[in-house]
Amino acid sequence: MVLRRLRAGVLGMVALSALLYLVVVNRAGEQIAAAQRTRAAIADIQEAHVEAGKANDALEKASRTRAVNLIGPGAEFDNATARVGTLLTSATGGNAAGEQGLHHFQFVQGQLKTCVQLANSAGDDGVVWARDALDDEPETDGADEVRFTGGLMESLEDLREIESTALDEQLRSRWLNPSLLWPLLLAPVAVMLLLVVATGLVVARHFRRYPHPALGVALLATASVAVTTCVLTRVGQDELDDPLLAGEGWIMAIALLLLLGAGALAYLAYRPRIAEYRFPRS
């Protein structure tokens, strides 16, 4: 019977919408969580750059005392460089630039170690060399600076730029891309709309009746879940701190209840006409 097949198609589209919703919110949630870790890593790198500047200032101060051989670079330098090391270790966990990014982190940590060793082992000359290791200018290739050829502070800035580029790539992934998500999530809704229209034509032609209003409500409920998911899955850098996601517990509960209700309404909407077909009025 045509109505049975139409009902199966409508219920299938509701089920497909539920499946796509769960897949999208899961994958998008993972991608956003990774982007949040990268954003935190970038913040740590920026703070490490500030601390490296404090270490450089501390070395300048120590060099003016002319007592580096006696007192070393000073507690302020030690605290600042220790803080840089802690921040770099923390930022490594949010690396989004793959193996290349890890190599860059290791290189910068090596620069930090070299700087500390120079400042603590060679007296006044060591302080001068350590300052060069901190704020040396990068090499250039024409008008462009060559990354990771300058001092520690320049390398931290290069590292921040690389991770920022990787963050942009994360936020452009397919699970956060509106041009892919809208067609994916609205395709079942479009098919469901065609099936509802076909149902209306069959009911009007063969039963001389209007289709059950519950069928329209089911379509609207399914469409609302798809549209809401697409809207909430679009997250920019400015929204990473506290995003409202389609996978939030309360939003997911409402979405799944709407889809469950859509399925129940669709099933009930066809029931009177199918029963009338099986047991026609005399």
Q: What is the mean pLDDT of the chain?
A: 88
246, 23 contact by CB (below 8 A): no
Q: What is the DSSP letter of 282?
A: -
How far does Cα 250 stand from its chain's mean position?
20
- Please report, for residues 55, 133, 146, 225, the alpha-carbon distance to residue 61 in angstroms, rounded to integers and kept in the order given: 10, 16, 30, 62
Q: Which of 71, 73, 43 is nearest to 55 (CA)?
A: 73
3-state secondary structure of 211: coil
| Mean pLDDT calculated for residue range 262-266 | 95
| Mean pLDDT calculated for residue range 171-191 | 91
241, 3 contact by CB (below 8 A): no
Q: What is the pTM of this model?
A: 0.81
52 C-beta neighbours (distance < 10 Å), count:
28
Q: With bands split at pLDDT 50, 70 and 90, how would you rate the model's confidence at 282?
A: very low
DSSP string of 133-153, one letter each residue:
HHHPPPPEETTEEPTT-S-HH
Reported in sequence order, the residue ranges of the chain that DSSP labels E, i.e. its strands, are 140-141, 144-145
| Mean pLDDT calculated for residue range 91-105 | 94
Q: Which amino acid is at 113?
A: K
What whole-number distance in Å separates Cα of residue 189 and Cα of residue 7? 14
pLDDT in tens, 117-149: 988 876 677 778 888 889 888 888 877 888 899
Of 31-40, 117-126, 180-189, 212-221, the range with the lowest mean pLDDT is: 117-126
pLDDT beyond 80 at 209: no
Q: According to the model, what pLDDT value does residue 2 have?
A: 83
